[in-house]
Structure 1
């Protein structure tokens, strides 16, 4: 695979129709060295960090698949278009890092700090982000099948930008993501894809969900105080034992309510 291919594919993926991500992903040679091998060692990365003397390091477009980078200080690092599939970043600090159009398929980011990280065009399918802190980050990319249980996503910015029509289809894709017990207070997930997401006991206080797709999602026990449900598709969604439902915004403006699984008062 040519080194430019990940960049081009990520751009195509986000500009495509809402349900075309999987077909485009299949167009990549996921078995190539660019996607499965590392051109550096952990020692190489540690040497770069030491030499930078506290300044952000540049790992843009590097092949880092499968590498153990756990616990490293990668704060503000430039990892744009880098390939970190199956890499171990457990407990690493990626706060403020540039992860745009990077690949993190099946990567382990459990307990990692990604506060304010730029994730435009990221591909992180089946990644482990359990307990990670993604507060104020911008995950405009594909997280299908990822584990975000217990993660902190406060003030996350994953909604589509409807003011910019050229970017109108670019949104967070959280299809089948495990968000059990996650804290999404104040997050913007407007027009995002959350089909079959597990939001059991999640904190959705003041979350913008306007126009998003929650079909088949499980919101059992979730807190929805102040959450915006205008034009949210809840077909097949489990809306049981919700907390703060009385203060949710535009609750009556949900779509496909008759197809939702609800409690007596929902």
Structure 2
């Protein structure tokens, strides 16, 4: 198996997740050569990965820093696998079991994770632009990374931890970036999305019961028909958001403390 040269991506990923209007946050791919073999090719075959799984005899496999882009890994058992800094761009991960996997600083741009199991997965610094996570299970996962334009339609994000940890911000405000993500019909019950970016996200029909949205950016988001009972809107920016036919709005927390409420579309559909 020919090992492709690793990229110096760790510092770049962490830098571009910094908060505020800095150019780095506007371009999460800053400093990465997306046309390089390390980002577009696979150094292993599916058979190679299956052999590693077999030799592991039930123990988590180590695929850290591997170039696996474009590879068919659908349906494999990768529970607890170490995929830290691995490149999985455009990989086929449909139905793959990644429960508890380490995907910190991994790249899964435009990868297909339809129906994948990612419960409890660690995704600090992940780059997942345009990834397809339709129907995936991300419950209790930690997706502190860039998911711009991804699809999570009907996914389970119960207890997901995507909020900023203000106790550890030496590198800036690290949080989930769900800009323009399709979360229609997703279950986010009890998720922490405090200070997360959800601007222009599609949250139609989503279950936001007891979700922490404190300080989150919901500007331009579509929450039509979403359930918001127990959700905390304190300091959440809803400018330009569609807050139409919300369910449980009377039980939402700190509803009066949302930001730019006068600029949101707020009405009930009869």
Question: Is residue 203 from structure 1 mapped to residue 182 from structure 2 by the alignment?
Answer: no
**How far apart are 1:5 and its partner, in Å?**
1.9
TM-score by length of 2: 0.95
Question: Is residue 73 from structure 1 mapped to residue 77 from structure 2 by the alignment?
Answer: yes
3-state DSSP class of the match of 2:33? coil
Would the aligned equivalents of 1:162 and 1:168 in 2 still touch at CA under 8 Å? no
Would the aligned equivalents of 1:80 and 1:100 in 2 still touch at CA under 8 Å? yes
3-state DSSP class of the match of 1:46? helix
Task: Encode CA deviations 1:218-242: one digit per residue, 9 max, x unaligned.
Answer: 0000000000000000000000000
Alignment match of 1:250 (pick from 248, 254, 261):
254
Q: 2: CA distance between counterparts of 1:107 and 1:144? A: 13
Task: Encode CA deviations 1:189-235: one digit per residue, 9 max, x unaligned.
Answer: 00000000000000000000000000000000000000000000000
Would the aligned equivalents of 2:175 and 2:195 in 1 still touch at CA under 8 Å? yes
Q: 2: CA distance between counterparts of 1:197 and 1:69? A: 29
Alignment match of 2:194 (pick from 190, 194, 203):
190
Would the aligned equivalents of 1:74 and 1:97 in 2 still touch at CA under 8 Å? yes
- Between the two proteins, the alignment pairs up a number of residues equal to 265
Q: 2: CA distance between counterparts of 1:89 and 1:174? A: 20
Change (3 A) 1:44 1:264: closer
What runs of 5+ residues in structure 2 fail to find an aligned partner? none
**How far apart are 1:16 and its partner, in Å?**
5.4
Would the aligned equivalents of 1:121 and 1:140 in 2 still touch at CA under 8 Å? yes
Change (3 A) 1:70 1:264: closer
Partner of 1:41: 45
Q: 2: CA distance between counterparts of 1:122 and 1:102? A: 5
**How far apart are 1:6 and its partner, in Å?**
2.1
Would the aligned equivalents of 2:71 and 2:88 in 1 still touch at CA under 8 Å? yes
Task: Encode CA deviations 1:87-129: one digit per residue, 9 max, x unaligned.
Answer: 0000000000000000000000010000000000000000000
Alignment match of 2:94 (pick from 60, 75, 90):
90
What does 1:212-251 correspond to in 2, within 5 Å? 212-251=216-255
Change (3 A) 1:24 1:203: closer
Partner of 1:110: 114
| Backbone CA RMSD of aligned residues | 1.5
Partner of 1:15: 18
3-state DSSP class of the match of 2:9? helix
